[in-house]
Amino acid sequence: MSINELESEQKDWALSMLCRSGVLSPCRHHEGVYVDEGIDIESAYKYSMKVYKSNEDKSPF
């Protein structure tokens, strides 16, 4: 895996955590654009750490 592929995988994982925790949502009209839902980023951090710890072998980090 190249460094560019790893960076892309890490970015995708982080964006998915932000979306799954409700902090961001994908724009319905523009691909690759996300809407800030106004939720505290701390909730995304807690959620991401929970997912990371339960699936360390599947995380790109």
Nearest CA to 21 out of 40, 44, 46 is that of: 44
Domain residue extents for the chain: 14-56
Q: What's the pTM?
A: 0.82
27 close to 35: Cβ distance less than 8 angstroms: yes
Element at 36 (helix H, strand E) = strand 34-36
- pLDDT tens digit string along 5-51? 999 999 999 999 999 999 999 999 999 999 999 999 998 999 999 99
DSSP designation for 57 = G
Give the pLDDT score at 10: 95
Sign, CA dihedral 3-31-57-46, equals positive
CA dihedral of residues 8, 10, 14, 20 (deg, nearest 10): 90
Give the pLDDT score at 26: 96
Give the pLDDT score at 60: 84
